[in-house]
Amino acid sequence: MQSRFADTLARAAGTCAAAGDCGCYNPVAPGTGCGGVTDRATSQELAGIEAEFHAQGCEWPIQCAAWTCDPRCVEGRCGRGP
């Protein structure tokens, strides 16, 4: 499941025309940092994998500080707000 998450994130386009085209994800796989922002379609796919992850009782691979999901579209790429 973690490899599917990482593979899905690696294939993400991460492109946008507006902030609404972007979405956030949480860290389900090692090496994906403390979560982030990508294109909305990918973030929704990642959310589904995360739901499976929690349903199976898996523990977070990394402990991160809380952060606010504030996706932005900057020059056609999804990213975090300030």
The predicted pLDDT at position 23 comes to 97
- pLDDT 10s digits, 21-73: 999 999 888 888 889 999 999 999 999 999 999 899 988 888 888 889 999 99
- The answer to whether 28 and 43 have CB atoms below 8 angstroms apart is no
Token output for 2: 């973690």
Of 46, 39, 35, 48, whose CA–CA distance to 20 is shortest?
39
What does the chain come to in residues? Answer: 82
Please give the DSSP secondary-structure letter assigned to residue 15.
Answer: B
